[in-house]
Amino acid sequence: MKNVGIWIDKKEAKIVSIDEKNQRLDTIMSDVEDFHASGGSGTRLKGGPQDVVQDSKFMEREKHQLSKFFNEVVEHISDADDIVIFGPAQVGQKLNKQLLEKHSQFQGKKISIEKADNMSDNQIIAWVKDYYIS
């Protein structure tokens, strides 16, 4: 039986795979762009023209970048029997949704989602071990 823990945020995924004999940690970096809206006026004059933020274009681009990132994660976990996804943001929920909607090999498998703060690699491995032991 292969148990997998995935610590994930928009920047990277740390995948811990544990089976009867081995444990392994893989890191996948994402290409998801950071987006910081710059507000305020385009001129120094009060009431001047406002900067236009292209939210819908950014959101669509981010959606495609996340999908590509999630597909890379799927390549590493396709043989998992039990999966726990954890991390500090909502990215884990989005990954879970894509696993269930677009990847039939995960139908019927146990997938859990947990909240967790940023961790070192050793803390991530320990967290996954504790999760599956208890």
Q: What is the mean pLDDT of residues 23-36?
A: 88
CA distances to 64, 65, 69, 112 from 60, in Å: 6, 9, 14, 27
Q: Is residue 38 over pLDDT 70?
A: no
pLDDT reading at 39 higher than 60: no
In a domain, 47, yes or no: no
Select from 39, 4, 36 the least CA-distant residue to 18.
Answer: 4
In a domain, 48, yes or no: no
Whole-prediction pTM: 0.82
Element (H, E) at 134: none
Report which of residues 59 and 47 the model is more confident about: 59
Question: Would you give the distance in Å from CA 49 to the centre of its chain?
Answer: 37
Instruction: Tell me: pLDDT of 27 over 70.
Output: yes
* Residue 36 pLDDT level (bands cut at 50, 70, 90): low
Pairwise pLDDT comparison (38 vs 58), residue with the higher score: 58
CATH number of the domain that residue 68 is part of = 3.30.420.60
Spatial separation of the C-alpha atoms in residues 29 and 61, rounded to whole Å: 17
Phi/psi class of residue 18: alpha, beta or left (left: φ > 0; alpha: ψ in -120 to 50)? beta
Confidence of residue 3 (pLDDT cuts 50, 70, 90): very high
Looking at the structure of the chain, the number of domains it has is 1
The whole domain housing 21 covers 3-32+56-133
- Residue 108 pLDDT level (bands cut at 50, 70, 90): confident
